[in-house]
């Protein structure tokens, strides 16, 4: 799968910052996947609108939690490690965080 952000994996040869929490993130994403299938069944079964919206809200919250976890891992590992290794690169890493936050906050 290719990233759509324009990031080049060749520029990031180390394992991703979420490597230590990968299983947790995947478990959450699999739960979200199941919730989305449940929402599909709800719509297919003509369930009450508010019930469907409640489940959509729960999925949205769950995805936000995954995103926050990934962001936390990125800051704690990728950004801090880069800043320690090459302080001149710290500004670029902080700009990367700012862009990611702008993207994430566009709800």
For residue 96, what are the contacts with CB-CB under 8 A and spacing of at least 6?
Answer: 79
Which CATH number does the domain 18-105 belong to among 1.10.3720.10, 1.20.58.1000, 3.40.50.720, 1.10.1060.10?
Answer: 1.20.58.1000
Which two structure tokens, joined as six digits, stand for 11? Answer: 């520029």
The HSE-up count of residue 80 (CA atoms within 13 Å, CB side) is 8
Percentage of the chain beyond pLDDT 70 is 86
For tokens 């739960």, what's the residue?
A: 31
Which two structure tokens, joined as six digits, stand for 85? Answer: 């290794």
User: How do residues 17-61 score in pLDDT, each as one tens digit?
Assistant: 888 889 999 999 999 999 999 999 999 999 999 999 999 999 999
Domain ranges of the chain: 18-105
Cα 22 to Cα 44: distance, rounded to the nearest angstrom = 33
* In the predicted structure, residue 107 carries a pLDDT above the cut 80: no
Backbone Cα Rg of the chain: 17
């Amino acid at each position: 799968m290719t990233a759509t952000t324009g990031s080049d994996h060749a520029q990031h040869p180390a394992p991703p910052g979420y490597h230590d929490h990968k299983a947790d993130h995947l478990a959450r994403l699999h739960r979200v996947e199941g919730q989305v299938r449940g929402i599909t069944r709800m719509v297919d079964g003509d369930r009450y609108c508010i019930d469907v919206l409640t489940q959509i809200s729960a999925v949205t919250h769950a995805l936000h939690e995954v995103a926050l976890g990934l962001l936390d891992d990125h800051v704690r590992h990728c950004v801090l490690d880069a800043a320690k290794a090459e302080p001149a690169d710290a500004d670029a890493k902080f700009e990367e965080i700012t862009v990611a936050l702008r993207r994430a906050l566009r709800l």
